[in-house]
Amino acid sequence: MPELPEVETTCRGIAPHVVGRRVRAAVLRRPDLRWPIPREIGEELPGQRIDAVRRRAKYLLLDARSGSVIVHLGMSGNLRVLAHDAPVRAHDHADLVLDDGHLLRLHDPRRFGALLWQPAGTLHPLLAGLGPEPLSDDFNADWLARAAAGRSAPVKHFLMDQHIVVGVGNIYAAEALFRAGIHPGRAAGRIALARWERLALAVKDILARAIARGGTTLRDFLAPDGAPGYFEQELSVYGRAGQPCKACGGTLRAADWGQRATVYCPRCQR
């Protein structure tokens, strides 16, 4: 699944081609993805200008006067800016035709993504109750310590809770916990403030580096220009069960916490 760096890469990639352009038409080749596609996208959006493209958690928002298109890439989706006559492939489910002869195309083979509408001045239920952005000042050790007080859930599960912090999925949670030296199965309520400091800094640094490298290519992800992400080359633990730890040389182990497979180093992570 595209995680925060992949979604941020998409946001930055499409913004220069989309912001300021008017939508001539919305071509919807099916009525639904994960949920039904609201009629407003086909009826209200055409004729309006895209004023901004932004990311909230793993959602992309294309802001126009009367509302925002919300896009979620699901397990395998991507958004590409293409020429208006680009051939339609299987799983090309929606196009926003722009006034400069290009189009923004949503491709989603598994249809776990979403194309939704948020009327101006409202907050879509999917965006309500989300935690702070991990690269913002609101995400810090004090916030984590307060939120974790009394919790027995494994810290990896806690870190992937979108009410605690948005956009930190399986890959980057595993990598950040390794960087901070914290065992993924440790109870969130039993972590000292100094260790939360290390973890918050690790999350910020790893996500920033992943964004700079275009995200992580794991099976399906491609950036809007078709280029793969390169952060996969820097992964320390994710997907490396049974291989040597890059820090101590010990064997990395795999376990299951919070119903997600986790790879960790039993020597480096306590």
Active site residue ranges:
2-3, 58, 260
110 annotated to a ligand binding site = yes
213 annotated to a ligand binding site = no
SS (H, E, C) 119-154: ECCCCCHHHCCCCCCCCCCCCCHHHHHHHHCCCCCE
- Please give the torsion angle defined by the CA atoms of residues 244, 212, 164 and 153, in that order, rounded to the nearest 10 degrees: -10
Distance (Å) of CA 141 to CA 79, 146, 182, 202: 34, 9, 14, 11
CA distance 47 to 247: 55
Q: Which two tokens stand for residue 103?
A: 């189009």
Strands (E), 143-264: 253-257, 260-264
CA distance 145 to 80: 40
30 annotated to a ligand binding site = no
CA distance 145 to 211: 26
Q: From the annotation, which residues make up the binding site for DNA?
A: 91, 110, 151
Binding-site positions read 91, 110, 151
